[in-house]
Every structure is written in structure tokens, then in C-alpha cells.
Amino acid sequence: MHKFLNPARKKRLYIVLFIIAGVSIALAIMMTALRQHINFFYSPSQVAAGEVSAGQRFRIGGLVVDESVMRVEDSLQVRFALTDGAQEVWVTYAGILPDLFREGQGIVAQGALDEAGVFQADEVLAKHDENYMPPEVAQALAEAGHPTQLSTPDAT
């Protein structure tokens, strides 16, 4: 009876393993089916491939293209391009941008495409990356030709 794995314990061990395996498999199937719905945003490539239709509300995420940000005088209207390295989508937005918004920065915007294929955003969120460094290091990296904002929301 004091054996480490007597028949009763062995049976319970199998039940425990069965429960974990069963729940994992069920959840894996569900998550595969719901994959696109769990994603928080679409990438510019997905938009270019026509995965969303005009007028449908969705979120788009990417890096703000360098030197693409244009502001309209005396208003909060701003226009910029988003990229994932392969495709670009133009975004317009009227409102206050988050502090981290800048060219080269990852952002996520919510809104819909108009007929011209321009994304009309009503909310813009900054997506911070996983890099942490002091300002001097960032400056040194930039001078050496290694921009600090390399990783797209999902580079793959």
C-alpha cells in the first residue's frame, strides 16, 4: 500500500493526465478556429490582401512610416502611413495622439476603410515594444545606423 505508485494512485494519475490532455486539445482546437478573432488587429498586408471589406470596423496595427506624418494647420487632423515592412495603408485621424506616437513607432488604430482605401481612425493607441534602454544608448545606436524601432508588431 505504501508503494509510490500503487494501482489506485496509478489510476488517479491517468485521470489527471487525461483531464489535462483533454482540456488542452479542446482549447487548442477552439483557438485555432478563432485565431483571427483573438488577434487584436490586422496587419497592413492582411488589409492589402482584402481580408477586410470597406465599411467594416476593425483595428489595424503597424509601424508609422518615416516622414509620412502630415498635420492639417489649426486642427487635430493628422494623416500618416502604416507599414508592416511589406504593405502600407494610409490612416487619417482627428484627435489627440498618445505620447509615444512618433514616426517609426508601432501603433494600433481602430476605425474602418473608406472607398478610397484610406483607414478612417477614431482611436489611436501606441504599441510599445519590448526594448528598454537609457536615452544615451538609443542615441548611440541611432548614430551607428541601428534604429531602435526595428520590430514590427509582428515581423513575420
Partner 1 sequence: MQRLLALKNFYAFAKALSPWLLLTWVALLAYGVIGGLVWAPADYQQGEAFRIIYVHVPSAFLSLGIYTAMAMMAAIHLIWRVKLATIWIAASVPIGASFTFLALLTGALWGKPMWGTWWVWDARLTSELVLLFLYLGYIALHRAMPRPDMAERAGSLLILIGVVNVPIVHFSVTWWYTLHQGPTLSRFAKPAMAPEMLMPLLAMIAAFGVFYVWLALLCARNACLARESTSTWVQEEVINNA
37: phi > 0 → left, psi -120 to 50 → alpha, else beta; which? alpha
| Per CB under 8 A, 122 contacts partner 1 | no
| Per CB under 8 A, 3 contacts partner 1 | no
CB of 20 to partner 1, least distance (A): 6
Helix (H) or strand (E) holding 108: strand 106-113
Figure out which of the listed residues 20, 49, 54, 76 binds partner 1, where binding follows CB under 8 A.
20
Count of residues that interact with partner 1, criterion CB under 8 A = 45
Helix (H) or strand (E) holding 27: helix 7-33
| Per CB under 8 A, 30 contacts partner 1 | no
The span from the CA of 16 to the CA of 3, in Å, is 19
Figure out which of the listed residues 73, 74, 99, 143 binds partner 1, where binding follows CB under 8 A.
99
Query: CB–CB of 83/65 below 8 Å?
Result: yes
| Per CB under 8 A, 47 contacts partner 1 | no
| Per CB under 8 A, 135 contacts partner 1 | yes
Instruction: Report helix, strand or coil for 138.
Output: helix
The span from the CA of 40 to the CA of 58, in Å, is 9
The binding site for partner 1 (CB under 8 A) comprises 9, 12-13, 15-16, 19-20, 23-24, 27, 31, 35, 38-43, 61, 97-100, 108, 123-139, 148, 151, 153-154
